[in-house]
């Protein structure tokens, strides 16, 4: 009898183990549902860049809302404080945890080949969000983001149309060096002002932060002073930091120095409505719902597009005033 009971117990344990293996889905990391449609919780690791700007905060909130427990997700969140090596370590940790999918907003474009291959070898799909990578596109499933080059081109065209017919001196606050957003926006902007009378006096990184934007603008003002006619900041936060530097120098932002930025977050739109900024190109941070749907589709075995581009708008002062109160971010 003892032997029979022991064999029965082992058989039951084996059945339970087999059922657990079936639910975990070894082909996609094993932490939750593999098809996104069974009703089981989907565990997603999200590697965010950090919290460097108002845009990034709005983007993080959008992602957390979309990947909520109410929507069937268990979100494992990591913000790397804009340190690429920390972000790579976070992705590798997600792989070791056996999450069902990884969402990555890469700080920089390069350096991702090895860890993305590790994810692929582990059967864990990777979806890029916001920024892109230089790694082969077979190492990730899809990308959801914005057309950064078009954003830069739109900003540059406005500057060229308004100031490019006469000699105009311009300085640039660049985003994080090596990021696809900074690289592509520069490409678009430079192509749009080519052939105009716009002269770029200087261009330096402000790391997409308000503090660095202020510091770099202070340096520009010390070096060039009233020679500066226009500032192009690759995001609102750097432009807002530059506002403080311009005011401290006894100049009037929006008048003595025209300011063009990208993002259209609440603080930036307020500065535009108040006449301290002159033009803003939008970069929509509300990508969460689209990314969550792509994750579900990938895990369900559905075919997804390699990229999904969210449309942007652009605003002058009057347009900013008209929409400011209704903006969700």
Map out the domains of the chain with their CATH numbers.
33-145+285-311 (3.40.50.2300), 148-283 (3.40.50.2300)
Query: Cα dist. 57→19, 37, 62, 231, 280 in Å?
Result: 40, 30, 9, 24, 19
* pLDDT for the residue 16: 32
Interval 141-153 mean pLDDT: 98
* Spatial CA neighbour of 283 closest among 212, 232, 235, 240: 235
What is the C-alpha radius of gyration for the chain, rounded to an integer number of angstroms?
24
Binning pLDDT at 50, 70 and 90, where does residue 10 land?
very low
The total number of residues written for the chain in this structure: 329
Distance CA 303, CA 188 (A): 31
pLDDT tens digits for range 282-304: 999 999 999 999 999 999 999 99
Name the phi and psi angles at 257, rounded to 5. Answer: -130, 115
**For residue 313, what are its two tokens?**
């708008």
Can you say how many angstroms the Cα of residue 320 is from the centroid of all Cα atoms in its chain? 23
**For residue 85, what are its two tokens?**
């090596």
pLDDT tens digits for range 207-228: 999 999 999 999 999 999 999 9
Distance CA 10, CA 23 (A): 20
- Please list the residues that pair with 203 across neighbouring strands: 172
Binning pLDDT at 50, 70 and 90, where does residue 33 land?
very low
Coil vs helix vs strand at 3: helix
Distance CA 180, CA 324 (A): 28
* Spatial CA neighbour of 208 closest among 171, 267, 261, 270: 261
User: Can you tell me which residue has the tokens 């999200």?
Assistant: 46
pLDDT tens digits for range 223-252: 999 999 999 999 999 999 999 999 999 999
Interval 264-290 mean pLDDT: 97
Give the chain's end-to-end CA distance (angstroms, integer).
69
Whether 12 has a pLDDT exceeding 80, the answer reads: no
Binning pLDDT at 50, 70 and 90, where does residue 328 land?
confident
**For residue 65, what are its two tokens?**
């809302």
Interval 150-154 mean pLDDT: 98
Whether 24 has a pLDDT exceeding 50, the answer reads: no
Distance CA 35, CA 300 (A): 4
pLDDT tens digits for range 79-137: 999 999 999 999 999 999 999 999 999 999 999 999 999 999 999 999 999 999 999 99
């Amino acid at each position: 009898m003892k032997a029979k009971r022991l064999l029965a117990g082992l058989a039951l344990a084996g059945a339970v183990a087999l059922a657990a293996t079936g639910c975990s889905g070894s082909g996609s990391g094993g932490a939750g549902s593999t098809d996104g449609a069974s009703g089981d919780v989907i565990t997603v690791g999200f590697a965010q860049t950090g919290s460097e700007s108002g845009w990034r905060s709005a983007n993080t909130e959008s992602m957390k809302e979309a990947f909520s427990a109410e929507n069937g997700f268990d979100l494992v969140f990591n913000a790397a404080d804009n340190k690429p090596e920390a972000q790579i370590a976070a992705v590798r940790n997600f792989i070791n945890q056996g999450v069902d999918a990884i969402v990555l907003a890469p700080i920089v474009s390069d350096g991702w080949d090895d860890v993305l291959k590790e994810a692929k070898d582990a059967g864990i799909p990777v979806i890029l969000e916001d920024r892109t990578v230089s790694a082969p596109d077979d190492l990730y499933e899809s990308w959801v983001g914005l057309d950064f080059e078009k954003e830069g081109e739109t900003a540059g065209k406005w500057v060229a149309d308004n100031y490019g017919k006469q000699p105009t001196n311009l300085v640039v606050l660049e985003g994080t060096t090596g990021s696809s957003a900074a690289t592509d926006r520069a490409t678009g902007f430079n192509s749009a002002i080519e052939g105009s009378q716009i002269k770029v006096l200087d261009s330096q990184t402000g790391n997409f932060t308000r503090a660095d934007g202020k510091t770099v603008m202070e340096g520009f003002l010390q070096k060039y002073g009233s020679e500066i006619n226009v500032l192009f900041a690759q995001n609102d936060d750097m432009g807002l930091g530059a506002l403080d530097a311009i005011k401290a120098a006894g100049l009037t932002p929006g008048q003595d120095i025209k300011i063009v930025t990208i993002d259209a977050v609440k603080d930036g739109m307020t500065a535009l409505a108040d006449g301290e900024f002159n033009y803003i190109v939008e970069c929509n941070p509300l990508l969460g719902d689209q990314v969550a749907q792509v994750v579900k589709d990938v895990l369900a075995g559905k075919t997804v597009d390699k990229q999904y581009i969210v449309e942007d708008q652009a605003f002058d002062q009057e347009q900013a005033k008209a929409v400011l109160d209704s903006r969700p971010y």
